[in-house]
Amino acid sequence: MRRIYVIATGGTIEKVYSEQTGNVQNLDSKIDRYFRLLRLPDAEIAVTHLMNKDSLEMTDADREKVLTTVREKLAAETAPVVITHGTDTMVETGLALQNNLHDLRFPIVLTGAMTPLGFEASDGLQNLTESLLAARILGPGVYVVMHNQVFPVDRVRKDRERARFVWK
């Protein structure tokens, strides 16, 4: 049984539709329900619900909190880490991690979604599935994993128009 840490920070992947307001928002975390749709007989997924924010609203203090949490996990047990995150500032958080974490022995994978989990045509479950696999087989480093692509975090940017990540 291999442990994989998951740190949930919010973003589109966790957004829900509110019948009262008619908007999609980061209200309750729903990622656990989607992990239960996957078969993971040899993985122990340890989820930390750190915050539930649109990534455009994440502050430096929030990013510091992500860094601290990753450090705690890696101190407790060296195992891969998957971070679910809004796509707009995912790269910024990833670079902060890369700049502050040294001698990594496992990969840190950032992922998210263009359309919330459970909405028609959502890419959320695909990205979660890919990230959990990438967490097991990639070498040490900080990566963005989405849409069948793996990017080292210092080589990627979001292409907002096309709703995907591209090499930079």
Tell me: does residue 105 bind a second copy (CB under 8 A).
Answer: no
Applying CB under 8 A, what is the total number of residues that bind a second copy?
43
Phi, psi of 6 (to 5 degrees): -120, 130
**Which SS3 state, helix, strand or coil, does residue 103 take?**
coil
Select the residue interacting with a second copy from 114, 144, 153, 156 (CB under 8 A).
114
Select the residue interacting with a second copy from 110, 112, 116, 153 (CB under 8 A).
116
Q: Which is nearer to a second copy, 30 or 65 (CB)?
A: 30
* Least gap, CB of 119 to a second copy (angstroms): 5
Q: Which pairing describes strands 43-53 and 2-10: parallel, antiparallel, or unpaired?
A: parallel
Range 16-75, binding a second copy (CB under 8 A): 17, 19-20, 22-24, 37-43, 54
By the criterion CB under 8 A, which residues form the site for a second copy? 12, 17, 19-20, 22-24, 37-43, 54, 114-121, 123, 126, 129-130, 132-134, 136-138, 145, 147-150, 160-164
